[in-house]
Amino acid sequence: MRSPIPDYLAEALRSVQADHSGATADYIPELAHADPDRLAAALCTVDGHIYSAGDAAAEFSIQSISKPFVYALALADRGFDAVLEKVNVEPSGNAFNEMSVEPDTGRPLNPMINAGAIAMHSLVGPPGATPEQRVDRVADGLSAFAGRRLHVDEAVSRSEMSHAYRNRALANMLRAYDIIADDPLVAVAGYTRQCSLLVTAEDLAVMAGTLANRGVNPLTGRPVVSAAVVRQTLSVMATCGMYDGAGDWMTRVGVPAKSGVAGGLIGALPGQAGIATFSPRLDRHGNSVRGVNLFTRFTADMGMHVM
């Protein structure tokens, strides 16, 4: 007998399938060419059950969904004070690629926007880690969250790097304010490799499930980060994870979440489950249109809203 959860997920996918609004990200050519019709949903409970429907095994680049996990690694590696000194935890109300920094210090407003995430990438690993060691720490750390080895999509990474003028501008500003110590181009290259790690909707559900499970991977049983780090990470996801759509998201859907421009979207329900969706067409905030619709429906059907 089929479990009712995959049946429910499959029915939810059918209910959003007709919505073709939005567009794939066009500032990364490799993403603009992605199949816009792919659609998936996956759920990982804190006791390690995975349910999925649609293209749940299709790989796509994690993009900005890497940001909360790298934030968690930086908190674990360097401690809360050292991280907060470089990146604040206030919502910006602006788009993810804006220069949203404090005027006097150049400190990015939060680690979910690009400026904050480029700074965060430079904070993983021990002090003095080389750029290669930081990329390895990110790949190893995100693999621990996913419970399987993740790999960089070199084509996506190259494609983004060849057009990364905005992120290079952000990194130059961060360098001028001494928020990062690296050469700005090296900082952007590392951050771009981070964003190019390939995941499936099921991987993302497990990663979100690890946050929902206080930092212990529900599949492998391995502790990845502490419960205190998870609390800080989920709090920042709740206020900043959906960028300038964060308030609308929190009132409508009501779970800590993070989106990525390849079309992934995660939500974490503390103590219960991680949920992930995948659909590449994006709204004007850079959030997946059908992903937001699916989560809105999950909240209505399952009473997920944390308030």
Tell me, yes or no, if 64 is annotated catalytic. Answer: yes
> Is residue 187 close enough to count as binding ligand DON by CB under 6 A?
no
Catalytic residue among 52, 61, 64, 159: 64
In the complex with ligand DON, which residue's Cβ is closer, 88 or 114? 114
Sign of CA dihedral 142, 129, 96, 76: positive
Helix axes 201-212, 227-240, angle to 10 degrees: 120
User: What value does the CA radius of gyration of the chain take, rounded to a whole number of Å?
Assistant: 18
* Dist CA 17 CA 237 (whole Å): 27
Can 70 be counted among the known catalytic residues? no
Q: Is 160 annotated as a binding residue?
A: yes
Least distance in Å: CB of 18 to ligand DON?
Answer: 23
Confirm or reject binding of residue 245 to ligand DON (CB under 6 A). no
Annotation marks residue 258 as catalytic? no
In the region spanning residues 76 to 105, those forming contacts with ligand DON, defined by CB under 6 A, are 96-97
Residue 237 corresponds to which tokens in the numbers above?
A: 């996801």
Nearest to 67 by CA among 265, 241, 200: 241
Q: Binding residue per annotation — 135?
A: no
Q: Which one of 70-78, 208-216, 223-231, 255-263 is the stretch in contact with ligand DON (CB under 6 A)? A: 255-263
CA distance linking residue 177 with residue 277, whole number of Å: 37
- Please tell me whether residue 135 binds ligand DON under the rule CB under 6 A: no
Shortest separation between residue 166's beta carbon and ligand DON, angstroms? 7
Binding span for ligand DON by CB under 6 A among 173-181, 231-239, 257-265, 292-300: 257-265
51 included as an active-site residue: no
Residue 195 sits in the site that holds ligand DON (CB under 6 A)? yes
* Binding track, positions 146-185, relative to ligand DON; x by CB under 6 A: --------------x------x------------------
Q: x/- site string to ligand DON, residues 280 to 299, per CB under 6 A?
A: ------x-------------
Residue from 261, 288, 289, 292 carrying the catalytic annotation: 261
String marking each residue 113-132 x if it binds ligand DON according to CB under 6 A: -x------------------
Tell me: is residue 98 an annotated ligand-binding position: no
**Interface residues with ligand DON (CB under 6 A)?**
63-64, 96-97, 114, 160, 167, 195, 259-261, 286
**Known binding positions for substrate:** 64, 114, 160, 167, 191, 243, 261
The residues carrying an active-site annotation are 64, 67, 191, 243, 261
